[in-house]
Amino acid sequence: MPPRLRRFVAAVGVLVFLTFYIWAAISIGERLPDAWWIDLLFYGIAGTAWGLPLIPLLRWAEQGGRGK
């Protein structure tokens, strides 16, 4: 697969993933108890943890262009 197409597929994958991730975070956040510190903790973790599942996808997107 050409590097340009690989990056395009990864970009679409990131957008799809983030759409569902944000929807899930908001849905879970609405069901939490009504306390400011719980919201702060949950949204702080959810706001920084979105990158971890995307690391393999981004590595895959960049692996094809180096050896050629």
Sketch the domain layout of the chain as residue ranges.
3-63
| pLDDT at residue 68 is higher than 70 | no
Find, among 62, 53, 55, the residue nearest to 1 by Cα.
62
Of 21 and 2, which is predicted with more confidence? Answer: 21
CA-to-CA separations, 58 to 11, 21, 27, 41, 62, in angstroms, rounded: 9, 17, 26, 27, 6
Tell me the per-residue pLDDT of 22-36, one tens digit each, with 9 for 90 and over.
999 999 999 999 999
pTM value > 0.95: no
- Sequence-distant (≥ 6) Cβ neighbours of residue 56 within 8 angstroms: none
In this prediction, residues 52-56 reach a mean pLDDT of 93
Please report the pLDDT score of residue 61 as a whole number: 92
What's the CA gap between 56 and 60, in Å, rounded?
6
